[in-house]
């Protein structure tokens, strides 16, 4: 496509391949006046995640696993209709798809290393509990 605001980068040097994106346009709901019935401003962007060669194999497996609920036959689709112009909706859809893939292909977080609670912290907590209970016990009016 000409004039698109550059390749939509997923992460690093990997970007959405323009050749593998399938665009569909339809009439959008919402405001728009007289123009609304004639323009196909809603955009649906489809990307075949299962058959793409643009993503590294590890990323692809990760994305297929994480986006399993959103995929239909290995294809992920994103809709955009918040803008009145088809052009801005295309941009929004492409950015949304890139963000979705970036999140889905991100490496899993490092496992948490269990740490011990320092003894001083535990002792201080117990000391404060004891103090509080003494304060409250002192409030009962038995020796008046």
Rg (CA), the chain: 28
What's residue 9's pLDDT?
A: 77
> Of residues 136 and 52, which shows the higher confidence score?
136
Phi first, then psi, for residue 126 (nearest 5°) are: -65, -35
Give the predicted TM-score (pTM) of the model.
0.64
> Where is mean pLDDT largest: 18-32, 39-53, 116-130?
116-130
pLDDT over threshold 90, residue 123: yes
pLDDT over threshold 80, residue 141: no
pLDDT bucket at 72, cuts 50 / 70 / 90: confident
Checking phi first, is residue 69 left (phi over 0); if not, alpha (psi -120 to 50) or beta?
alpha
């Amino acid at each position: 496509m000409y004039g698109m605001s550059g390749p939509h980068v997923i992460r690093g040097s990997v970007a959405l391949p323009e050749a593998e994106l399938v665009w569909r346009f339809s009439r959008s709901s919402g405001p728009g006046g007289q123009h609304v019935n004639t323009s196909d401003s809603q955009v649906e962007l489809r990307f075949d995640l299962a058959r793409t060669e643009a993503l590294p194999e590890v990323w692809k497996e990760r994305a297929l696993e994480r986006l399993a609920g959103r995929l239909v036959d290995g294809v992920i689709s994103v809709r955009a209709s918040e803008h009145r112009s088809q052009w801005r909706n295309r941009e929004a859809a492409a950015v949304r798809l890139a963000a979705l893939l970036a999140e889905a292909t991100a490496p899993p977080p490092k496992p948490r290393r269990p740490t011990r609670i320092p003894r001083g912290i535990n002792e201080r907590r117990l000391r404060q509990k004891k103090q509080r209970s003494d304060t409250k016990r002192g409030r009962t009016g038995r020796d008046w």
